[in-house]
Every structure is written in C-alpha cells, then in structure tokens.
Amino acid sequence: MRKMTNVLKYVGVLAIMLFASGSSYAAAETTGSEGISNNDLFYVLVLVGGVITLCIFYMANAINGLVGSDFFKKKIHDKEEQKRQKGNKTNVITTILLIVVPFLGFSQGGGASAVESQIDKEWIWLMLSVDVVLLLILLYLRKVFNQLLGEVIPAKEKAKKKSVSRFNKVLVDAVPLEREAEIMTDHEYDGIKELDNNLPPWWLWSFYASIVFAVVYLLNYHVFKTSDLQAEEYEKSVIEQDKQIAEYLKSMKLNVDENTVVLLTEASDINAGKGIFNAKCVACHGKSGEGVIGPNLTDDYWLKGGDVKSIFTTIKYGTNKGMQAWKDELNPIEMQQVTSFIKSIRGTVTDGKEPQGELYVEEGVTAEVSDSTNSLDTIPVVLDSAGI
C-alpha cells in the first residue's frame, strides 16, 4: 500500500509538471509564429527537465526502500536513531521538492511571461542550466544507490556474480570451475570425466538463425518465387548490360567530329543524308548537287578538299565565301550523313556548273580534267598514301 501511495504521488507530480509545461506552451502558441524555433527548444528543455526530475523521484524512492531494508534495520536499534534516519529520508524528499518547486514555478510563471512574444536566448540557457543541475543530482543519487546496494549484497553473492559474468553467460554459458561438480556425469573415459555443459548460446542462436534463414530462402526463391535465382539474375543482368552498351554506342555516335568522321555506306544513312540535303542545301547546290550559287558537288574539283574529313569540316564550320556553318543546326550524325550522301553523288551529273577549286582524286581513281580549250582528256592519276 505504501509503495502504491508513493507511485501515485510521483505520478501526480509528473502530471502537474506536464500541465504546467502544456499551459505555458499554449500561452506561447497564441503569440504568433515569431521566435517559434526558440519556443520549441525551450519546451524541449522543459520536457527533459521533467523526465530527469521524475527519474530523481524514483531513484530517491529506491534509496529510501533500500535504507529501510532488513539489512539496515539490524544496525539501527535505538529509536532515536530510527527517527533520525526517518528524518533523513524526509530531508531527501524535501530537498528534491525544493529543487522541483522553483523549477515548476519557473516553467509555468516566469517562463510564460518570457514567451508572451518570444523566448529569449537567456531563458533557454537558464533552462539548460537547470537540466544540467538536475542531471548531476540524478547521477549523484545513482552513485549513492550503488554504494548502498554494494553493502546489502552479501560477499558470497558478489563473488558468485563476479565469477559468472553476463558476457560469459551470453557467450559460452559455461559453469565456473568451482561448480563443475554440479554438472558432472557418470561417463568416464581413461580417468577423464564428462561435463554436461549447455551448448554455447552464440552457437545455438546461430543454428536457430540458419534454420529461419533456410525457411525464408525456400519460401522466397522456390515457393512464392518473389526473387530470382542466380541463373535468372544472370540472364537479366546480361540483357540490362546489352541495353546499356547499345545506349552507350548510340551516344558515342554524337561524338563524331572532323577527326573521327568516316564514310557511311548504309542505305538508311544515305537516305537520311539526302533528306537533310534536300531541306538545307538545294538552294545553293541544286537538287542533284549540280551547283547553283554554290559549287558543283558531283565533279572532282573542290574548294576545301574532297575527302570525307574535309567535306565534314566545310559543312560544320562553313566557308568565308558565303556558306554558313551548320554545327548549330545539325548534330554530328546528321552532318556525317550529309557528307556521305555528297560522296555518293559523285559523277551523277554531266552538265552541272563549271568546275571550281582544285582537282581531288582518290587513290586508284581516274579523273577527267579539262584543258584551256575545254576539251576533256582522260588522264589517269594515281596518288600516294598522303593524297599528293
């Protein structure tokens, strides 16, 4: 009955503290949103202080119960000494109440007046200091409790607890040497007797965990098939890697420049280049590349060179004689496709614009050149590897 009364007393104190904190918080909430960060911090510190105070009450109650145990009663024979001990208990509770009552008054009265508009940093530091003081009191009471508990526990029980540590109990659960006689079996082999020790807990729990893992594995991979087996994972990873490779190769095409461009021979690329040529180039070079304002693209004479790289460079950067740079309107693939289309129409027009520029003949190709009287002679020209 006495313990129940103490519990109800401490619960009541906690309820009063929470009510005081809640009242202050409700008052501060009506002031607006300014300083809300400081308000939140302040009330967190108030709550922490309340929890620490509750712990102090419980620790004091435990100390009182320990002091009132039979171990201490045997040492107290004089009634006056008992009264003095009772007075000491009362002093402990009184001291705690003297600490808590100002704390409650501060959190309900002074704190509420301080937060009518917003809580200043000074109040937060003061509340933090109160929490630190309460924590130090709690740590001191804990130390006193441990000292008293050490005197109550008999020496034999201390030695027993020391010999069987919690770590040893969890790790191996082995019986101490002085108690091995309790678990000795009747089995004896060449003078060696057998002990009936328990299985090590770490091994036993590992065994149980492996059983649980096996059941989960079976249900996951073979019954419900929510996850893929290794073969299925491998096949999916191969497919995913192939997609990534294809995307990478597709993106690498856009890295084409005048140094890496090559001649495309696929019909799809040639047709794409033809479409771009018809949309962008016919106004200057004619529908068939015969030349209008710009030069004829079907003969072997070129102003900037007739190889793939030179044509690509001319398309990309333009010329200083009126041709615009297409690098901002066409991507590298499109410029490569137009270049390949232009290379494919060589010799398709016989009555185009007169030749302009210098003769370009690819290696092993026969070129037709005109003399000063416009008579055409067939002259075989063979270039070396440098194109000269």
SS3 90: helix
Tokens encoding 380: 């075989």
Residues 279 and 314: their CA atoms lie apart, in Å, by 18
Short-list 26, 50, 35, CA closest to 121: 35
Short-list 134, 104, 87, 129, CA closest to 14: 104
Tokens encoding 157: 């029980």
Short-list 311, 317, 312, CA closest to 333: 312
Those residues whose C-beta lies under 8 Å from the C-beta of residue 371, and which sit 6 or more positions away, are 377
Residues 359 and 28: their CA atoms lie apart, in Å, by 92
CB 23 within 8 A of CB 100: no
- Beta pairing class for 301-302 and 192-195: unpaired
What confidence score (pLDDT) does residue 247 get? 86
pLDDT digits (tens, 9 = 90+) for 274-326: 999 999 999 999 999 999 999 999 999 999 999 999 999 999 999 988 899 99
Q: What DSSP character marks residue 179?
A: G
Flag whether pLDDT at 132 surpasses 80.
yes
What confidence score (pLDDT) does residue 106 get? 46
The structural domains of the chain, with segments of one domain joined by +, span 2-152, 158-195, 267-379
Select the highest-mean-pLDDT range: 11-20, 59-68, 81-90, 208-217: 208-217
What fold is seen in the domain 267-379?
A: Cytochrome Bc1 Complex; Chain D, domain 2 (1.10.760)
In the numeric block, the tokens 């059983």 are attached to 211
Those residues whose C-beta lies under 8 Å from the C-beta of residue 344, and which sit 6 or more positions away, are 270, 273
**Up-side HSE of residue 6: CA atoms within 13 Å toward CB?**
14
Tokens encoding 227: 């996850």
pLDDT digits (tens, 9 = 90+) for 139-194: 888 888 777 776 666 555 555 555 555 666 777 887 777 788 888 888 888 888 88
pLDDT digits (tens, 9 = 90+) for 284-297: 999 999 999 999 99
With a threshold of 0.75, does the pTM exceed it? Answer: no
